[in-house]
Amino acid sequence: MKIVLQKVSQASVTVNNEIISKINKGYMLLVGISTEDTLDDVNKLSNKVLSLRIFENPENSEDFWKLNIKQIEHGQILSVSQFTLLARTKKGTKPDFHMAAKGHVAIELYNHFLNNLRKELGEGNVKDGQFGAMMSCGLTNEGPVTILLDSKN
């Protein structure tokens, strides 16, 4: 399982020219589920996302890396399933997506991931895109802070 985590001041997902999800301060996540992933991978990375200390102390904006998403006021997550994170590009010029989990498997693990996040942050503070749809993602990256997470590393 791979995640691209970005600290954002706002993020949104658009499908067919309509904004379907939108958040303010928090994380934009791009989540890739591989053929090798299990519930252990999902639990490991959902815990990591929730516990990473990426936010500054609100009493001292120069006091970085102190708080996690659960500790900040109004912290939200916008998560988007993205099988292309599993692309192999070693050979040729066309990406190989064979390491990405098939849709029916990926959606089950992805929904478990979202449920883990919602248990900790609350239902309304975790939004997602539309699984399997062509989406346009917009965000304002703060920092910029972008972190790559991999359940196998």
Amino acid identity at 80: V
Query: What are φ and ψ of residue 102, in 5° steps?
Result: -65, 155
Please tell me the distance from the alpha carbon of residue 97 to that of residue 89, in angstroms, as a whole number.
9
Rounded Cα distance, 39 and 102, in Å: 15
Task: Give, as one character, the DSSP assignment of residue 91.
Answer: S
Kindly state the tokens that stand for 14.
């658009």
Sequence length of the chain is: 153
List, in order, residues 6 or more apart from 92 with CB less than 8 Å away: none
Active-site positions read 82-84
> How big, in percent rounded to 5, are the helix, strand and coil portions of the chain?
25, 40, 35
